[in-house]
Structure 1
Amino acid sequence: MAQTAKVLSIQALKDFRVALVNFTEEARNALSGVDMELKRMRDWLERDQLSYWQMQVKRRHEAMMMARTELYRRRISQQGSDAISDTEQKEALKEAQRRLRSAEEKVEAVKKLIPIFHHAMAEYVSRAAPLTDHLSGGVDKSLGSLTKMINSLEAYLALNAPAAPPVESMGVSSPGMTSARVGSSPAGAGADARDQTEAGPDQDQGKDDAPAQAADAAHDSSPLPETSTAPQSNQEHDS
């Protein structure tokens, strides 16, 4: 069974289509920004941080060995004396050992953090995949359906647009034509025409006698022209 919908405003569909386009663009930019940030963080952990602290462990181990060598030399140089002054070398060795332990702890922390970050990144990608797939193809299909719907509704309205009302003749009618009153039905107009037809013979005779009656009235009211009797007598004499 075909589904139907009651559309009250085509403009609302157009506004929704514009909003959907804007949302799609913003969502795509947001997902792209998150992906770039995740890759940057992964590279920072695996390359920058891990490599940096591994290098620091190597350097600090060398510094610790040098501090131990200095302490050993100090003790060798003061053999046989009653008081051995090696406090400074001992403090330097302790500091070097502390720095080495700190670098080694950093390396271990980064190594533990990398798999945790990979797990979180994979979980995010799996949850964002449906939205990513929909934005890459599903939204374009929805936009196409909306565009087709709007075009179909506009074409339907264009076919069913109401005709312009007839222009009234301002009360002037041509001879031989009968104009129906505004709001009257065709049956009423036909009844008026029949009434005019049934009155035919008397009204037509009255219309034919009207010019003759008008001419008689004009003749009676006009003064008679003065005539000369001489020409008439001549005509009678000639005859």
Structure 2
Amino acid sequence: MADQARISNLDAIEAFRSALIVFISKTRQSLEMAQDAVKKTRAWLQTEQPAFWSAQIKQRQKRLDQANAELMSARMSEFVETPSVQQMAVRKAKAALEEAQAKLERTKAWARDYDRAVAPLSRKLDALRDYIENDLTLATAHLVEIQKILDAYNETRIAEVSPDTAS
């Protein structure tokens, strides 16, 4: 009797296998979403943001030019004693232009450094994907084999026990 296995519930193996399959599926989806986010962020940094900030620089440069022109007109005008409003507009326009230039430079720096910063994390995602695709998929196959072996064991044990009880 000591060399017999006591198997009380084969359904637990099937439940675990089912949960593992669900886990693999959800993890695959999450990994794909993460990789898509990495690609989209790279494209955003390399194309969309530089174009946006370049356009902002042009727009803000026009505002600065306009503010400077208004300041010059105010200084030449007899009707405006102190052109403080125009000076404040020039300062604001200059600050806005400098902000856009700084953001374009930061965007370019991030675009240059993005792959170097993200690569180590991306490799970890790749390692997780390999683990999911290889090891866990193999584990589900092993669980099926374990179920078959245990089912066969149970059937032989039942067949051995049945003739004794019939006598």
In the superposition, the TM-score normalised over structure 2's length comes to 0.77
- In structure 2, the CA distance between the partners of 1:13 and 1:88, relative to structure 1 (3 Å rule), is closer
Once the 2 structures are TM-superposed, how far is the Cα of residue 61 of structure 1 from its aligned partner? Answer: 1.0
Describe how 1:53-64 pairs up with structure 2 within 5 A: 53-64=53-64
Distance 1:111 1:36 in 2: 21
Pick 1 or 2: higher relative contact order, CA cutoff 8 A, min separation 6.
2
Q: Which structure shows the bigger proportion of residues in helix conformation?
A: 2
In structure 2, the partner of 1:46 is: 46
**2:18 — aligned with what?**
18
Count matched residues. Answer: 159
Q: Distance in 1 between matches of 2:133 and 2:148?
A: 24
What is the correspondence of 1:93-108 to structure 2 with a 5 Å cutoff? 93-108=90-105
Residues 7 and 138 (structure 1), Cα distance of their counterparts in 2 relative to 1, 3 Å cut: farther
In the other structure, the counterpart of 1:36 is: 36
Query: Separation in 2 of the partners of 1:166 and 1:106?
Result: 87
String of CA shifts for 1:52-73, please: whole Å, max 9, x gaps. 1221111111221222223334
Structure 2 residue identity aligned to 1:107: L
Under a length normalisation based on structure 1, what TM-score does the superposition of the two structures give?
0.56
Point out the structure with max Rg over C-alpha: 1
Identity, % of aligned pairs? Answer: 25
Unaligned runs of 5+ in 2: none
Residue of structure 2 equivalent to 1:131:
128
**Residue 111 and residue 7 in structure 1: after superposition, are their counterparts in 2 closer, same or farther (change >3 A)?**
farther
Question: What is the one-letter code of the residue matched to 1:124?
Answer: L
User: What corresponds to 2:144 in structure 1?
Assistant: 147
Q: 5+ residue gaps in structure 1? A: 1-5, 168-239
Corresponding letter in the other structure for 1:45: L
Letter paired with 2:43: D
CA distance in 2, matches of 1:101, 1:47: 21
